[in-house]
Chains A and B, each alone.
Chain A
């Protein structure tokens, strides 16, 4: 089994000035920048990018061009049987320690899903629900300083368990999962957002929703103060080979519909490896402004 926890850290150095950090530093001793993590966990610098290429699955997390820190995190794992567990979290930027929340949530959920992909007897939907619960508990543990007008550490989460031809996706918030198989481009998730709720209730057209100032106002998240809402899962059994794509809004902002995102993938050479696809999508988001952190995972499915 090749397995790896990846959070978007580059080593023990300050995210702002690059000075080395000591264990337990809360602030950089050179420039004074806040280090969110008691276990130094910087994630910045110009154009910082983390890539993990596990052949049939790959993930890229990119800081983007505007934010001075990457608050996204992911966990990706592939078993010898080519089962895949993947989690992507997006730290909520108005929260304290959003990057730590995302990292700890991805890690905790990843552990649970890792067990599920290794043990076929486990129910995938239950595993996803357990993983989300583990993420919530991990985020509650995140330490942070009291700040007026800042909400508790929190993040979004999208995850998938791929076993044989069965794909199970679960999510909280507005990080998304898509299915592309050459004939079909389909968004599997429905954002927990005011915009989506407006559409569901017939109050907004999808076009209006896309322009709504509340497009990014999410209605559910992973965190201590998360509302009591159902955490949703969806399963599919594709018949044709295709690609599962999970991403944060740093990518889908630049390709809001499944069709647009699928178009970007179709423009790539036939047979592009998951790592190449993930890289290209992150590059496109940066080309179009890179306004947010971008994290994308691509899994090749061959039923």
Chain B
């Protein structure tokens, strides 16, 4: 079993009357259980086989190849399946709505079954996920993960239906979502990935699919610890302003807490390999008197019924403004990274709506924040969409020649953050 460690970054000093407590909690898992516990996993690959996947033809061929690569990465003993999705979902392998235990023979058979895939029909992502949920249910007790590939919008069911499905499946399995080409909707796939605690990304060229699937499946196989929750205890009378993962990507968790008692809520974190994530918690507490010290929150990593690690978030009230006005570097950094993601998404939205002023302001602000925090990856993506005149002040011009791929890449990757570096402020 993996070992978890935590570190807490905060300025615990509050001015008299102050009530908002912010902290960044870094959680690191050493992933030591990797080799031994992978057979407890279950994996499903969901391939979009709607008509558009056949145009160009190589798209379906690339998806088939990517799925083959993914199957090869599945370790012996892992429960496995493949689903083909159109306006309905179909179990490709095994075809009886269950999962099969991986072995060399099974992998060969599964790859043969992929030959039968044809590109025809529509897109109903909710029905694909529902079938995945049913198949995972036949392998109880395993840590379940799916890869979903689509190339289009969810046209053959309502947004409400998809929301209902997601609400039902939340916590049942984790799903990484990939959009190939530029005809899919970022916000739609992001909603699926967020609800199912997975990542979302664009695969611009079909040829890049195989490498991406390999990376996803290898990462999934490296996840050794499943069913981990982040538990936040707060004192009586306190309220949780927000809880969000802030690294490696921003994931809003605030609304996803499940109370285990009136003072503690569990937030899902899915599976962990050898990795480190940062969380930003913001808690409002009842102000204390000068010199009072309070436990404003306790962040615990819970696996099953056991506490694997915990971090204490404190508040100390002081009249000394030099102490209380200092903003913790990590808190400031991630507040900026969250604003960066918001600015990009709002800026792109405004641009689509033809609101040039708002788009310029928001994307300019994004450039400034990316530059300040040393988020070079995001900066590069921004530069494909705007001409930067002065990064320090966020002075930019919207480019007119931008491609849809650049725009969608910036949108999907807007939530990728960087950690506090020595040069960052």
**A236 interfacial by beta-carbon distance below 8 Å:** no
**A194 interfacial by beta-carbon distance below 8 Å:** no
Complex CA gap A149/B321 in Å reads: 12
**B35 interfacial by beta-carbon distance below 8 Å:** no
A27's contact among B263, B285, B295, B320, by CB below 8 Å, is which? Answer: B295
Chain A residues bordering chain B, tally (CB within 8 A): 15
A31 contacts B316, C-beta separation under 8 Å = no
Complex CA gap A149/B290 in Å reads: 13
Q: A17-B236, A149-B320, A149-B323 are in contact. Are A27 and B289 (CB under 8 A)?
A: no
B235 contacts A34, C-beta separation under 8 Å = no
**A203 interfacial by beta-carbon distance below 8 Å:** no
B292 contacts A34, C-beta separation under 8 Å = yes
Closest chain A residue, CB of each to CB of B295: A27
B294's contact among A33, A147, A148, by CB below 8 Å, is which? Answer: A33
Q: A17-B236, A147-B316, A148-B323 are in contact. Are A30 and B263 (CB under 8 A)?
A: yes
**A20 interfacial by beta-carbon distance below 8 Å:** no
Closest chain A residue, CB of each to CB of B320: A149
Complex CA gap A34/B292 in Å reads: 8
**B104 interfacial by beta-carbon distance below 8 Å:** no
B237 contacts A31, C-beta separation under 8 Å = yes
A33 contacts B292, C-beta separation under 8 Å = yes
**A76 interfacial by beta-carbon distance below 8 Å:** no
Q: Count the A-B residue pairs with Cβ separation under 8 angstroms: how many?
A: 44
Q: Which of B208-256 contact A (CB under 8 A)?
A: 233-238
CB distance from A63 to the nearest CB of B (A): 14
CB distance from B167 to the nearest CB of A (A): 32
A contact patch SS: loop
**A68 interfacial by beta-carbon distance below 8 Å:** yes
**B293 interfacial by beta-carbon distance below 8 Å:** yes
Chain B residues bordering chain A, tally (CB within 8 A): 22
The contact string, 1 if C-beta is below 8 Å from chain B, for chain A 28-53, is 11111110000000000000000000
Residues of chain A with a CB closer than 8 A to B235's CB: 28, 30-33
**A93 interfacial by beta-carbon distance below 8 Å:** yes
Q: Which of A1-38 contact B (CB under 8 A)?
A: 17, 26-34
Residues of chain B with a CB closer than 8 A to A28's CB: 235, 295
Other A-B pairs, 9, CB within 8 Å; known A30-B236, A32-B296: A17-B236, A27-B295, A31-B236, A32-B285, A33-B292, A93-B291, A147-B316, A149-B318, A149-B323
B interface list, Cβ under 8 A from A: 13, 233-238, 263, 285, 289, 291-296, 312, 315-316, 318, 320, 323
30 of the cross-chain contacts (CB-CB < 8 Å) are: A27-B295, A27-B312, A28-B235, A28-B295, A29-B233, A29-B263, A30-B235, A30-B263, A31-B235, A32-B234, A32-B236, A32-B238, A32-B285, A32-B294, A32-B295, A32-B315, A33-B235, A33-B292, A33-B293, A33-B294, A33-B295, A34-B292, A34-B293, A34-B294, A68-B289, A93-B291, A147-B293, A148-B13, A148-B323, A149-B320
Query: Which 6 interchain pairs have the tightest Cβ spacing?
Result: A32-B235, A27-B295, A34-B293, A32-B295, A32-B294, A31-B235
